[in-house]
Amino acid sequence: MIKKTNFCVNHPDVVASDTCSYCGKAICYNCRMPMGGWIFCSFQCLTLFMVQNTIKALFGLIGALFRPLKKLKRVSWRGWAEIVLTAGLLIGAFYLRRLTLEMAVLKGDLYRTAPAAVDSLFIEPPKIIEPVREGMVRESTLNIRGEAEPDHIVSLSVNGKPVEAVLPRGREFVFEKVRLHRGINRLEVRAISPSGGFSTLQTLMIDYASPTLSYLSEPLNRGSLLRKEVALTFDGGGSDNAADEILNALKKEGVRSTFFLTGQFIRQFPRTVRRIVREGHEVGNHTWTHPHLTTYAKNRRHQTIEGMTEEILHQEFSKTASLFKLVTGKNMAGLWRAPYGEINAEILLWAANAGYKHVGWTVGRGWEESMDTLDWVADTTSQAYYSAEEIVRKILQYGKQRRHGSNGIITLMHLGTERENDFPHLRLTDIIAGLRDQGCRFVTVTEMLE
């Protein structure tokens, strides 16, 4: 029997994932309001559900209280006297309390104590640590991390709808994979204390927009000139003999980077690939076979090379991404780097159609202004060969000669080398320390794009 597909009552074109525990209407993930193990479609249904269950509980309690009265016909005159006396005492206590409150109002006592009671309702608000700033994102989900008092309940609302409530672990709270709607999302976080006190709202405005073809087909060579951010990137092709030392340096310095790997690299060095992912780095697509895409090597022109088609390029992407998923269990970032940096408008559009944005490296006039280290060149007699010291000096001098310093630069190094000595990657810690001295913060390419 074919299972019937239900659609959300609020979004008729979206498949429903749940039903409301009160009204039974089908709702999608974005409309669900989880509370205490139940799912509701609105605050109204949640309220009615709570009222309904409260009434049931009260009737159950009343029934339990009156059940013993069935045996009253067997009670002696002394028992009846005790019942009447107890009832009289309860009624007297009620009216005495009411009289006391009325007298307090007349004397103004309640006015004097009211401000303190109101002040006690407000507690210290939670601190949001991630995301670090408002703005636009291109992912449909978002993680929210922060700090609050250990015994406070922290609640999250998206666009006015309660989404989730959590208890901090220690002082840290996390809302994972919060679903965003297209457009502006108003995220509100509030803390509630055990005594009923509540904090002011902490608000974030996040704009979610899926990547457009025009955005994806625009290559990235440098990030924002207004932020002191640097992206260290590494290409993996035919060798990984420098990978462990690079990863050791990044781990020691607490730096997350972006790696562009070919499918053949992933197939040859799965252990290295898994370590890259395990240590929190980002991985983009470097094609499967590392082919030439343009005629630049032949005629210094970036004309699409004969035989290269959109279908072939997509196969290069999909095979690499599929193997990466198989090896790591993770998805590749929607970023790619062309082999040899060979791109043109046609190739960029083909890649955009596959969901990939091209990431190059910061370029300028000549080697001194290019953040391609050429660390792969091993022939010391070649004009393209530069010593490790020259490479370090170039990167650190770049920011000292320009108005915007090293803001937004993207560097390029490789996970393999044919050099026998004077290895540039062994100076990676010097590069990191020098850029930090200039006030730079290290980010992944995706973080740079946010």
Q: Which of 56, 35, 30, 59 is nearest to 46 (CA)?
A: 35
Give residue 248's pLDDT band: very low, low, confident or very high (50, 70, 90): very high
3-state secondary structure of 155: strand
Identify the residue with better confidence: 353 or 2.
353
∠ Cα 143 149 153 (to 5°)? 65
Name residue 182's amino acid: R
Cα(81)–Cα(120) distance, integer angstroms: 45
User: pLDDT tens across 99-119, in order?
Assistant: 454 444 334 443 343 444 444
How many angstroms separate the Cα of 352 from the Cα of each of 208, 220, 383? 19, 13, 35
Task: Please state whether beta strands 229-236 and 18-19 pair in parallel, antiparallel, or not at all (unpaired).
Answer: unpaired
Chain centroid to CA 449: how far? Answer: 14
pLDDT of 184 > 90? The answer is no
Q: Which residue has the higher pLDDT, 401 or 257?
A: 257
Backbone phi, then psi, for 310, in 5-degree steps? -60, -40
For the chain, the average pLDDT equals: 84
Closest CA to 341 of 311, 383, 376, 381: 376
- pLDDT tens by residue, 289-314: 999 999 999 999 999 999 999 999 99
Query: According to the model, what pLDDT value does residue 132 have?
Result: 72
Check residues 44 and 275 and name the one with the higher pLDDT: 275
Helices (H), 199-339: 213-216, 243-253, 263-268, 270-278, 296-299, 310-328
Q: How confident is the model at residue 76 (pLDDT cuts 50, 70, 90)?
A: low
In single-letter form, the type of residue at position 277 comes to: V
With a cut of 70, say whether residue 403 has pLDDT above it.
yes
pTM score of the predicted model? 0.59
Average pLDDT over residues 200-218: 83
- Number of alpha carbons in the 13 Å side-chain half-sphere of residue 341: 13
- Better-scored residue on pLDDT, 249 or 70: 249
So what's the pLDDT on residue 119?
44
Mind listing the pLDDT tens digit for each residue in 8-33?
777 665 556 678 888 888 877 667 77
Where b means 16+ CB within 10 Å and e means fewer, 415-447 reads: bbbebeebebbebbebbbebbeeeebebbbbbb
Q: What is the pLDDT of residue 111?
A: 38
- Sorted by where each starts, the structural domains of the chain and their CATH numbers stand as 1-65 (no CATH), 127-208 (2.60.40.10), 213-449 (3.20.20.370)
| Poorest-pLDDT segment among 98-107, 163-172, 194-203, 428-437 | 98-107
> Average pLDDT in the 178-200 region?
85
pLDDT at 39: 80
Note the pLDDT of residue 103.
47
Q: What percent of the chain has pLDDT over 90?
A: 52
pLDDT > 80? residue 225: yes
pLDDT attached to residue 44:
76
- pLDDT of 442 strictly over 80: yes
Summarised one tens digit per residue, pLDDT across range 324-368 is 999 999 999 999 999 999 999 999 999 999 999 999 999 988 888
Q: What average pLDDT does the segment 404-416 reach?
A: 96
Residue 231 has pLDDT above 60, yes or no: yes
Per-residue pLDDT, 137: 76
- pLDDT for residue 146 is more than 80: yes
Report whether 138 contacts 211 (CB < 8 A). Answer: yes
